[in-house]
Amino acid sequence: MKYSKMKGFRDIFGEDIEYWQYVESKLKSLFTSYGFKEFRLPILEKTALFNRGIGDTTDIVEKEMFSFEDKDGEFVSLRPEGTASLLRAYIENGLINNGVKKFYYLGNMFRRERPQKGRFRQFTQIGVEVLESSSALLDAEIASLLYNSAKVLELENIVELEINSLGCKECRPDYNELLIAYFKNIKDELCGDCNRRLERNPLRILDCKNENCKKLIKDAPVMLDNLCCECSDHFSQVKKHLNEMNIPYKINPFMVRGLDYYIRTAFELVTTMLGSASAVGAGGRYDGLIKTLGGSKDTAGIGFAIGVDRLVEILQQSKKIPIRQTDYFIVCFENTLEHGLKIVKSLREKGFIVEYDYDQSSMKSQMKKSNKLDAKFSVIIGEDEVNSLEVTIKDMLSGYQKRVSISDLCAINRD
């Protein structure tokens, strides 16, 4: 019996994993430098949390969740995103109402979509959330952090930061009416999904990926022309601060987010390198969501999530990253093993990558193994070397070899 993985799920290993670790460590240190603290969240949550937190009429809740009834009759889902879980944890752990909080998370998300380039059923997001401030300066800081996430990977030339304002509960309802009026007139030309959206959540039509719908959307009224004074003012401040921060951006009046809870500033980091899955990361402001999820007061919040799979993909397409190779392969034999292991230990403690042969095979075979591991140096420890307290070190690229004292070898520090 041969087993295979499920559609849309992946095994990640080999050279790919080097890129994953590189991206994750660069982003973790970037977020840490902005004062974010890591938050680890469960992968399985009660389904009701996502229905409420993401919105009943979103694509995610309507058709993309991996949900099932647990043995005790509880309805549970693999998390499709991190914000609802983080806010649940924030409320549940009594962190509310204590000043600005900044968290980041990294982990797998699950959505039952049609797998294609940049779109999987299990994927990884790294995201941030900031709670308890509605300042426009914070919106600019978070949008700039999203942009800088590409910049630390030297990908700023192949991404673009797009921003928009989605209004608030004061101005969005009137705008919704305008949208409904516009799309009702051309109802027959819209796809089936959009016809349903028109009834339940008209704003979502603007996010339709259908080519014909995209053409019809071009002439639709936009939220930016219909913002209330407060939202308009807030958006001007965000733009001003982004300019002060020297962050390039483009205004995209048609950008809406896939999740229901966003108000005011929304932003996306997009690229043309991934076909139709063009967003590398996205986020926005969600003041009020905490209250919706059972928080005790109207707490402000803003955040974004980056699709690590997509970021890795564009990084692999654009540049080679430094990959660490084995530094030393220690060649030793039954009677010199004890000595060899001391040298292995000492070099590993200095931070070198050190390997040796677990099968203790012949000299020829050990040199082959060293070659196969692409080691920079082989260190040969024979009986006469032990007696003279020396080793033979061979540069595997040039083939040059010389004898050095064991103490000199063990005194080498990693640069």
- CB-based burial, 210-247: b 16+ in 10 Å, e otherwise: eeebeebbeebebbbebbbeebbebbebbbebbeeeeb
User: In the complex, what is the shortest distance from the CB of residue 140 to ligand ATP, in angstroms, rounded to a whole number?
Assistant: 19
User: In the complex, what is the shortest distance from the CB of residue 358 to ligand ATP, in angstroms, rounded to a whole number?
Assistant: 39
CB 198 within 8 A of CB 184: yes
The one of ligand ATP, Mg ion, none whose footprint includes residue 164, by CB under 5 to 8 A per kind, is: none
Q: Which parts of 246-275 interact with Mg ion (CB under 5 A)?
A: 258
Concatenate the DSSP letters of all residues of 19-34 into one string: HHHHHHHHHHHHHHHT
Question: Does 194 contact ligand ATP by CB under 6 A?
Answer: no
User: In the complex, what is the shortest distance from the CB of residue 178 to Mg ion, in angstroms, rounded to a whole number?
Assistant: 25
- Output 309 or 385, the one with its CB closest to ligand ATP: 309
Among the listed residues 216, 273, 277, 331, the single contact to ligand ATP using CB under 6 A: 277
- In this structure, what token pair is assigned to residue 28? 């973790």
Residue count of the chain:
415
**Contacts of residue 187, Cβ cutoff 8 Å, sequence gap at least 6:** 195, 198
End-to-end CA distance of the chain: give it in Å, rounded: 49
Please tell me the count of residues contacting ligand ATP according to CB under 6 A. 18
User: In the complex, what is the shortest distance from the CB of residue 135 to ligand ATP, in angstroms, rounded to a whole number?
Assistant: 23
Q: Which parts of 310-349 interact with ligand ATP (CB under 6 A)?
A: 310
Question: Does 107 contact ligand ATP by CB under 6 A?
Answer: no
Please tell me the count of residues contacting Mg ion according to CB under 5 A. 1
- Output 156 or 355, the one with its CB closest to ligand ATP: 156
- Output 146 or 332, the one with its CB closest to ligand ATP: 146
CB 256 within 8 A of CB 166: yes
User: In the complex, what is the shortest distance from the CB of residue 67 to ligand ATP, in angstroms, rounded to a whole number?
Assistant: 16
Q: Which parts of 108-127 interact with ligand ATP (CB under 6 A)?
A: 111, 113, 118-120, 123, 125
Q: Which residue has the tokens 């990959």?
A: 323
Cα 142 from Cα 304, distance rounded (Å): 8
Do β-strands 67-69 and 75-78 pair in parallel, antiparallel, or remain unpaired?
Answer: antiparallel
Q: Which parts of 203-232 interact with ligand ATP (CB under 6 A)?
A: none
CB neighbours (10 Å) of residue 35?
9
The one of ligand ATP, Mg ion, none whose footprint includes residue 266, by CB under 5 to 8 A per kind, is: none
User: In the complex, what is the shortest distance from the CB of residue 325 to ligand ATP, in angstroms, rounded to a whole number?
Assistant: 30
Concatenate the DSSP letters of all residues of 239-291 into one string: HHHHHHTT---EE-TT---SSTT-EEEEEEEE-STTTT--EEEEEEE-TTHHH
- Output 173 or 275, the one with its CB closest to Mg ion: 275
Among the listed residues 86, 255, 279, 315, the single contact to ligand ATP using CB under 6 A: 279
Rule CB under 5 A: which residues touch Mg ion?
A: 258
Per CB under 6 A, residues contacting ligand ATP are 81, 111, 113, 118-120, 123, 125, 258, 277, 279-282, 305, 307, 309-310
